[in-house]
Structure 1
Amino acid sequence: MAGRGPAPKDPSKRRRRNATEPETVITPDDELRGPELPDGVLGTDKEGVPYGWHPMTVAWWNTWRTSPQAQTFTDTDWAFLLDTALMHTSMWSKGQWTLAAEVRLRAAKFGATPEDRARLKLKVDDPTNGPQKPAQAPAGVTDISSRRARLTG
């Protein structure tokens, strides 16, 4: 006699492989977060004058400080990002372009590009992208026939 096969699994014990995890939504607030780039960590020249951060690194760092993702950063995140800033400034100041791949990988961990944010399930909400007003018909147009009449003369 043929059977019906094994009993189905208890639904509460099933693991869905196509289940979607909730997305974290962050709203930009333009607040400056995190520490300033520290002075004196890049060494000194022959006269003892400390090297400064490359201007591209200063701009990169301030972009991270004002980014919506910075709302989620902890102290260890800022420390990791500071290590990345050291690589970034060496890349720009000394032309060590071999560091570019590592800088990119490290920045990806924080959601630097749209693809990185999608992988992290992180969405940056744009408050200006709210519902738009529907387009209004030009004055005097009530239906397509009146519009054609106006256009043809």
Structure 2
Amino acid sequence: MAGVGGVPKDPSKRARRNKDTIPQTVLRWERAEAPELPDFRIEKGEELVEFHWPERTREWWRMWIESPQAEHFGSSDWEYLLDTALIHARFWSGNLSLAGELRLRVAEFGATPSARARLRMVFADADGADQGQGRSGAPSAREMYGNLRMMPGGKTDQGKGA
């Protein structure tokens, strides 16, 4: 299935050290401001009519502008997401055949936990919440059940006649 798969392994961690046949291009990165959803016209029959963004798409667009990922979006990212907004609008207007394309496109931006994991995205606050201990704050299984021991012979009283 297109759009699914693991992130390529870091070349320094590969078992085989064959030189990449395609050289890497390093780009200068510049953060871009999010554009507003544009006003435009679409053909409807023989005439041009004003396109109306569904309220759900306007909410979706605002969510992306306010997302933690947005601070890493360049101008081409916003343009791609703007095209995706049109797909989102058509999906919410009843064109359900666009669901697969919409899913693939939003995955490229880390819309779901699995997409963020594939893109190796983590939330910085999660690291600080546990003071770097890798714990949620709830008692560990060892703390809760550490004193439990199996009975000699490995059997319990369950199943025996009373």
5+ unaligned residues in a row in structure 2: which ranges?
1-11, 17-32, 132-136, 139-162
Equivalent position of 1:85 in the other structure: 85
Equivalent position of 1:37 in the other structure: 37
Map 1:57-68; keep pairs closer than 5 Å: 57-68=57-68
RCO higher in structure (CA 8 A, sep ≥6): 1
Equivalent position of 2:129 in the other structure: 130
Cα 1:62–1:14 change in 2 (3 A) is closer
Q: What is the number of equivalent residue pairs in this alignment?
A: 105
5+ unaligned residues in a row in structure 1: which ranges?
1-12, 18-32, 136-153
CA deviations on 1:81-124 (whole Å, 9 max, x unpaired) are 0111111111112x100101110100000000011000000112
Superposed CA RMSD: 3.0
TM-score between the two structures when normalised by the length of structure 1: 0.59
1:130 CA drift (Å): 2.2
TM-score between the two structures when normalised by the length of structure 2: 0.56
Map 1:7-46; keep pairs closer than 5 Å: 15-16=14-15, 33-40=33-40, 42-43=41-42
CA distance in 2, matches of 1:62, 1:130: 27
1:51 CA drift (Å): 2.2
Equivalent position of 2:24 in the other structure: none
